[in-house]
Amino acid sequence: MATEVVDPPKILWHYTTASGLLGILREGAIRATGLSYLNDITEGKYLRGLMREPIEHLTSKDDLPGIEKLFESAYRRFGAACFCPDGDLLSQWRGYSGGGGFAIGFKSQLLRQFWEGESWQGFLRPVEYSSSTSFLRAVVDAREVTEEYHRVFPGGINSLRKDKEGKRVIYESEFEDMKGDIAKLFQKIEYLAFNGALHKDEHFSEEREWRLLTFIDSKTQDDEFAPDVGVGRQGLTIYRRIAFQSSFESSPICEIRTGPGLDDESQVRAMEVLLDNLGYEGVRISASRVPLRIG
């Protein structure tokens, strides 16, 4: 998959809790969370919602539910690790640090080099918040997916035969002739879903989010992409760990910032011991300047 390459800011920040910080530093890895478990309830659905009307104009209403199910299946294969270019943003402290957390500063070019080059984990890209840009993207994507859909099913879903229960089905003998075209349709939808995951509602624009988009696939035979289950703010979440360094000495982490309300002196001492024990070098420790009273 290829998306437009944009140079990231020099440092990208990941906000997390104290326990999240410990896990990230000790493992040299960060969690990519399944898109449907992120904080935006329209995650993975925003661009798809904008595509609905253009698709209805280009195909039968009977075909729309099937196309939407294909997109839903594609989105379930993706996860994201999220970053912000601002390392001391009030909304981020409130939303992600758990009232006593930390912000981890990463050298963005080293992240991109490691993820997109050395280990190939996915793509580091900015999120688009412009409603007009997203709408234009939705119109183009709707045209692409319906063209591919009608290439596979020229008469739409109603052209398929019915089973004993009256449902439209593809029989095995038909599938053998169609499977190459069906695979291309799935591939097209997966590509469009990937790009759709980089569009969010404009109400989240303050975050100016950058994200690593990657695969989380329970059906793959490659253990590298197999998911795990953890606990999040809304219950259980699906994620997978993604290494961001080959060694502690070559880490892209350049700064760790203590959140509002924490005792700076005690946290600095603890951080120095932790970083020294793990072998991190040259990591700056700083404190938030946000005057937020916690508790």
CA–CA gap between residue 92 and residue 88 (Å, rounded): 8
Instruction: Please give the average per-residue pLDDT across 197-221, as a whole number.
Output: 84
Asked whether 163 and 108 are in contact (CB, 8 A), the reply is no
Higher pLDDT, 84 or 66: 84
Residue in the block written with tokens 């994201």: 80
In this prediction, residue 220 has a pLDDT band, given cuts at 50, 70 and 90, of low
CA–CA gap between residue 264 and residue 260 (Å, rounded): 9
Bridge-based pairing of strands 228-232 and 102-107 is unpaired
The mean predicted confidence, pLDDT, of the chain is 86
pLDDT above 90 (res 232): no
Query: Structurally, how many domains does the chain consist of?
Result: 1
In this prediction, residue 171 has a pLDDT band, given cuts at 50, 70 and 90, of low
Residue 295 lies in a domain: no
Residue 261's pLDDT is 82
Residue 3 lies in a domain: no
Q: Which residues contact 215 (CB under 8 A, 6 or more apart)?
A: 77, 78, 79, 122, 225
pLDDT-wise least confident of 59-63, 135-139, 186-190, 264-268: 59-63
Which domain covers residue 153, as residue numbers?
Answer: 11-287
Residue in the block written with tokens 């409603």: 131
pLDDT above 50 (res 144): yes
pLDDT tens figures, 116-132: 988 889 999 999 999 99
pLDDT above 70 (res 221): no
Question: Which of these, 255, 227, 236, 214, lies nearest to 108 by C-alpha position?
Answer: 255
Residue 62 lies in a domain: yes
Residue 124's pLDDT is 94
Residue 154's pLDDT is 82
Residue 200 lies in a domain: yes
Amino acid at 23: G
Residue 213's pLDDT is 93
Give, rounded to a whole angstrom, the gap between the first and last alpha carbons of the chain: 46
Residue 218 lies in a domain: yes
The helix (H) or strand (E) run that includes residue 103 is strand 102-107
CA–CA gap between residue 116 and residue 264 (Å, rounded): 36
Residue 113's pLDDT is 94
Residue 292 lies in a domain: no
pLDDT tens figures, 43-66: 777 888 899 899 989 988 888 888
Residue 63 lies in a domain: yes
Residue 1 lies in a domain: no
**Left, alpha or beta for 286 (phi > 0: left; psi -120 to 50: alpha)?**
beta
Q: Which residues pair with 104 in a beta bridge?
A: 14, 256
